[in-house]
Amino acid sequence: MISIELIRKNPDYVKENLSKRDQILSYKIDDILQLDEERRQKIKNLEELRAVRNAKSKEIGLFKKQGQDTSLLEEEIRNLKDQISELEDVVARIERYMNDLILRIPNLIHESVPFGVNEHDNIEIKRYRDIPKFDFEIKDHSDLCVSRGFIDFDKASEISGGRFSILRGPLAKLERALTNFMLDINMKNGYEEISPPHLVKDIALIGTGQLPKFKEELYFIQEDGLYLIPTAEVPLVNVYRDSILKEDELPIYLTAYTPCYRREAGSHGKDIKGLIRQHQFDKVELVKITHPDSSYDELEKLLNNAEEILQLLELPYRVMVLCSGDIGFSASKTYDIEVWIPSQDKYREISSCSNCEDFQARRANIRFKDETGKNRFVHTLNGSSLAVGRTLVAIVENYQTKDGKIRIPKVLKEYIKEEYI
């Protein structure tokens, strides 16, 4: 969440910044300011009363020791009690309301983020490798894989419904190879491999920003009050929740492979065919916990780490800076990596690398002790090493041959012995 001190001290700056995302947010800032004012006033009253009560109670203790009568003092305090508990209720109510409001305010945007309304205003900053030319009629990954018996969408929808898939034989193996390949590269780049829980409590999702605002995107297990993770970012960032790190522990690099579960509410009709948009997909994730001073350098490095995977797989891609209107709720700045999908004749998102600055750190209460001994919030970053399912799509389509086979990228040779599948 945004710092309330910052809202209080510089409301105009906050409003101006948030209005780059959405004009309506500035009204909410006004609401928060008003509540904050009220809250502080009430707290002041409350604490004065409590101070009086505490002093008198202390006196009673002393008097009783001396065997003196204290009934008068006790009566005085009894009169305070109702006022105190009434004020306590008021303060608690204001704080709950204020908290709920502020948890729904998105992060402030970094100054280098371009202004824009939607995804069309994102800016391309880099392109890697020429798009492939085919001297035959290409197939999309879905047709190709179904015809080869590598994917069974029909059976999957019978078992689980739409947007699920069954990968078979060589394609299932290719998926596993990709996961291992990404994890191995990430470990080479200094990331610690984590195997996290896939079911988490609401506090974890509040910590990373999916809750309270995006509940409808999440699968929820009613009986146990647990959510299926929409990304490994959630458990990874929460590994350090409620902790005070030593400055020399930073930066921390984590990587994890997990399935990701998303309801895709509001995506009706989008990417109906194929593996592009599924309710369940595998992803290898990168998370960094860093010092605030170095988080933007770390973001560049994180992006490079994700790009390296595509470069090694020899897949054409481009890098986009997301504009202010398209950037995610928790992020201050985001790069998307888009891979070339021949059948769609366009680039599609395959990784998203973000610096959340201290937005998640505040929510998850992740701090470090700086050299002066002061506790400060860390910065958190996350990025897809790559979304495995979409990488699979990109490989199938970009590496397809005239006779409907798929060439295995060179770097995967140590995971898959065949030349083609």
Q: Among all residues, which ones are annotated catalytic?
A: 262, 277, 349, 352, 390
Least distance to RNA, CB of residue 73, Å: 7
When asked if residue 47 is in the footprint of RNA (CB under 7 A), the reply is yes
- Nearest-angstrom CA–CA distance, 128 and 315: 8
Task: Please say which residue, 143 or 202, places its beta carbon nearer to RNA.
Answer: 202
Residues near 342 by Cβ (< 8 Å), separated by ≥ 6? 131, 132, 134, 138, 397, 398
197 contacts RNA (rule: CB under 7 A) = no
CB of 308 to RNA, least distance (A): 35
Q: Candidates 64, 93, 126, 188: give the one binding RNA (CB under 7 A).
A: 64
For RNA, the closer CB: 238 or 385: 238
The residue from 10, 27, 58, 124 that contacts RNA (CB under 7 A) is: 58
Contact predicate 341/142, CB 8 Å: no
DSSP per-residue string spanning 145-162:
HHHTTSB-HHHHHHHT-T
For the CA atoms of 239, 362, 206, 265, the dihedral, rounded to the nearest 10 degrees, stands at: -110
- Asked if 203 is part of the footprint of RNA (rule: CB under 7 A), the reply reads no
Judged by CB under 7 A, does residue 9 bind RNA? Answer: no
Instruction: Please tell me whether residue 43 binds RNA under the rule CB under 7 A.
Output: yes
The single residue among 30, 74, 297, 370 that binds RNA, judged by CB under 7 A, is 74
> How many chain residues bind RNA (CB under 7 A)?
28
- Using the structure block, give the residue that is written with the tokens 């948009």: 277
**Site mask for RNA (CB under 7 A), range 216-255, x = bound:** ----------------------------x-----------
- Per CB under 7 A, does 34 bind RNA? no
Asked if residue 293 lies in contact with residue 265, where contact means CB atoms within 8 angstroms, the answer is no
Is the Cβ of residue 64 or residue 273 nearer to RNA in the bound state? 64
Rounded to whole angstroms, the Cα distance separating 177 from 416 reads 7
d(CA 412, CA 421): 12
Amino acid at 326: D
Q: Is residue 6 a contact point for RNA (CB under 7 A)?
A: no
Separation CA 219–CA 191 (nearest Å): 29
Q: Residue 77 CB, nearest distance to RNA (Å)?
A: 4
Which whole-number Å values give the CA distances from 169 to 141, 174, 398, in the listed order?
A: 16, 9, 20
* Burial of 405 from C-beta contacts in 10 A (0-12 / 13-18 / 19+): middle
Angle of helix 11-19 relative to helix 25-65, nearest 10 degrees, comes to 140
Q: Which of 162, 398, 157 is nearest to 271 (CA)?
A: 162
Among 11, 26, 28, 53, binds RNA (CB under 7 A): 53
Taking contact as CB under 7 A, which single stretch among the options 76-84, 101-109, 115-123, 285-293 is the one that binds RNA? 76-84
Which is closer to RNA, CB of 88 or CB of 217?
Answer: 88
CB closer to RNA out of 133 and 374:
374
β-strand pairing of 366-369 with 243-246: parallel
Strands 226-228 and 199-200: antiparallel
- Write down the least CB distance from residue 410 to RNA, Å: 36
User: Using CB under 7 A, which of the segments 44-52, 105-113, 311-319, 398-406 binds RNA?
Assistant: 44-52
Minimum distance, C-beta of residue 223 to RNA, in the bound complex (Å): 10
Q: Restricting to residues 352-371, name those near RNA by CB under 7 A.
A: 367
User: Which phi and psi angles does 221 have, rounded to 5°?
Assistant: -100, 105
Least separation, in Å, of the C-beta of 51 and RNA?
4
In the shown chain, the binding pattern of residues 123 to 162 toward RNA, with x for contact by CB under 7 A and - for none, equals ----------------------------------------
Smallest separation, CB 311 to RNA (Å): 38
Per CB under 7 A, 55 contacts RNA: yes
Q: Are 334 and 353 in contact (CB under 8 A)?
A: yes
Q: Rule CB under 7 A: which of 91-110 touch RNA?
A: 92
Helices (H), 160-270: 169-188, 202-208, 233-238
CB of 65 to RNA, least distance (A): 6
Cα separation, 17 vs 35, whole angstroms: 21
Residues that bind RNA (CB under 7 A): 40, 43-44, 46-47, 50-51, 53-58, 60-62, 64-65, 70, 74, 77-78, 81, 92, 244, 367, 372, 375
